[in-house]
Structure formats: C-alpha cells, structure tokens
Amino acid sequence: MFSDPEESALKVTKHQPSAAEIARTLLAGIGTAVLTSARAPVTIPVLHAQATNGETVIVAEAESLPDLGVTHSDVGHSVSGVPVLLQIRSLAPVEDLTVTRAITLISGTVTSLPAGRIRAAMDAECSGLRLGEVLGYRAGARLLAFSPNSCELVRGEQFHQIPIDDVLSASPDPLAHSEPALIMTLREETADDWLPLLKAKNAARGLDGRTPVDLSTVREARPIALDAYGVTLACSWYDRAPAAMRIPFPEPVHSGGEALDAVRLLVLAHQLAA
C-alpha cells in the first residue's frame, strides 16, 4: 500500500487539492458510491453524477428502493426526503494497483428527481459516460436528487470534517473525468523519464534541503494520479516500503492539455539541466 501523497517528501502544501476540493470532485461523479438509508441500514450500490445545474443525481435500481425504506405501498416508489449516507471511494486509475486515494462520507436526503429537472441531468457524467447513455442500459433505474448536509473525508491517515458550504462552493478538479486517459498518455510518453528526474532531485538534496528522503535507490516510478495541482508517482525502493511521491506544478492547470504540457516542461527542464 502506498503512503498518502500529502506525507510525501516532495509535498508543496499550496499545490495540493484542499479537502473540500477533493470532496467536491467525488460528489461530481468520480469514484464508486454506495448508499445507506437511516430507515433501513442496508447498503446498496449506486451511480452518482452532477447535473448541468450543479445538482447531484443518484441512480439506483428500482428494485433496491425498498432497501432505502421505501415500501411497495408508496405510490410509484416515490422517494421524498429519505435521510441517507452517501459513501464515495476514489481509487487510482491504474489497472494493476489498488490504491484508495480518498473516501468521503456525505449525509443528506434523497428525493425522486422531478420530471422538470431530468433534462438537466442527462448530460451529466457518470462513470465516464453521459448519464443519458447509462440509463439506456439500465431500464429499471430511478433518478434521485441528493441534498447534502454534512461531509467527512478520509485521506490516507488524515480525517477531515468539512462544512458542507465549503464543499459546495469548491470547484471539482478539471482533470477528474479525463484522468485515466491522461495517466495512460503520461505512462506512454514519460515511462523512462521519472527515475532520472527523481534521482536528480536527490542529488540536489544537500543544497536545497527539500528532499529529506533518499531517492538514490528508487528502482521504479510511474504516474498514478494527476490533478490540477500536480502529478503523483508510485515509487518502489530497493531498501524501503513503496510510497507515493508528489511532484507539484509551478501553477495550477485548468485542462488536460495544460497538465500534459506542465509535465513535459518538468521533464524537459530536468533533461536540459542534466
């Protein structure tokens, strides 16, 4: 298991996503989600997405609604103000590693999405697809509007209680939905560049004091996360446990293209300085 990137020796605090930004990104349709009702403590898998009007929409199978405490006697399985806990887990978008990056627990209520708000939900991204496409494969799906009222975030060994207004006012990470494809591009373009870059930082350790771990024995490094503030590498050593190392961008980026350019400039700067 990799250590929390926030504890990385290359950490630059002002170039890290805040806890509120991470929670907002997850709420916007990133990660895998489960829902538990206060009425019946049974956990059901759901999909979640952010509609164009900013509303969080949850997709649940109609047959699972009784597990939320909605009985068959309720007209049309209508859901109104049911208190729930939404848990969203973020995993690194790499196939051969299971790295949990963050878990957010958001309490709130769910209500059947009114017909007048369904159109705004169709273009929302849900598991990498438009919600309209997802519903084409799930004839029994029901759309629920989620109204959050409190939020907790677990990141590594850190626990955050975040005011819900801070979460809702934060901006989702602009790279979140394209991150898997961006990581694949980085792995193809920069596979041979990370080890020399890290070893060069280790060589400068005595001069700048900003690399307090020994990077000279790193044997493997590859990108496993990319956000507006930087890239995270999964690193393996010959003589210590694996860890996640954070390399921040000089300035936050706003698109996938800007992120790739920022990484290319980091690599180029190292090559020119070598």
pLDDT in tens, 17-38: 999 999 999 999 999 999 998 8
Summary mean pLDDT of the chain: 84
pTM of the model: 0.86
pLDDT at 129 over 90: no
Q: How confident is the model at residue 74 (pLDDT cuts 50, 70, 90)?
A: very low
Domains and CATH numbers, the chain: 18-171 (2.30.110.10), 180-273 (3.20.180.10)
The angle formed by the CA atoms of residues 46, 22 and 111, to the nearest 5 degrees, is 35
User: Mean of the pLDDT values across residues 210-225?
Assistant: 80
Please give the pLDDT value at position 75.
Answer: 42
Look up residue 51 and give its amino acid: A
Residues 80-100, mean pLDDT to the nearest whole number: 88
Average pLDDT over residues 101-128: 88
Residue 51 has pLDDT above 80, yes or no: yes
- Contact call for residues 143 and 58 (beta carbons, < 8 A): yes
Please check the confidence at residue 139 and state whether its pLDDT lies above 80: no
The β-bridge partners of 225 are: 232
